[in-house]
């Protein structure tokens, strides 16, 4: 039995690139955010629940991402969230 432990997400083997996606929750959350922002720009806002590390959970509609800051709309107000403070993302309503 051959077991290989991987410490990074990309491994080169025999001229092939292998991606390891185990325990990569940040990447999945980034994909969800990118798709939600694309849907907002197409006129279909998606309500997302942001579970934060040390703060209260927030339900809002993301519409723009700049560096480490996510701009969201919540009940007519614009709020800014730091990506480093977001622990998980749950899609509430499409």
- pTM of the predicted protein model: 0.69
Pick 25-93's CATH classification: 3.20.20.70, 2.30.30.100, 2.60.260.20, 2.20.25.90: 2.30.30.100
- Report domain extents, the chain: 25-93
Statement: residue 13 has pLDDT above 70: no
List pLDDT tens digits, range 66-80: 988 999 999 999 999
CB atoms within 10 A of CB 8: 6
**pLDDT at res. 27:** 76
CA-to-CA distance for 63 and 45, rounded, in angstroms?
A: 8
pLDDT band of residue 4 (cuts 50, 70, 90) is low
Sign of the alpha-carbon dihedral angle for 23, 91, 67, 75: negative
List pLDDT tens digits, range 20-31: 666 567 778 888
Q: Residue range 38-44: average pLDDT?
A: 94
């Amino acid at each position: 039995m051959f077991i290989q432990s991987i410490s990074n997400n990309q491994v080169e083997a025999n001229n092939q690139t292998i991606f390891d996606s185990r325990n990569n929750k940040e990447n999945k959350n980034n994909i969800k955010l990118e798709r939600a922002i694309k849907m907002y720009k197409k006129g279909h806002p998606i309500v997302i629940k942001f579970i934060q590390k040390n703060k209260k959970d927030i339900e809002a509609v993301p519409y723009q991402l700049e560096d480490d800051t996510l701009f969201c709309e919540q009940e007519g107000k614009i709020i800014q969230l730091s990506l480093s403070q977001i622990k998980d993302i749950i899609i509430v309503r499409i």
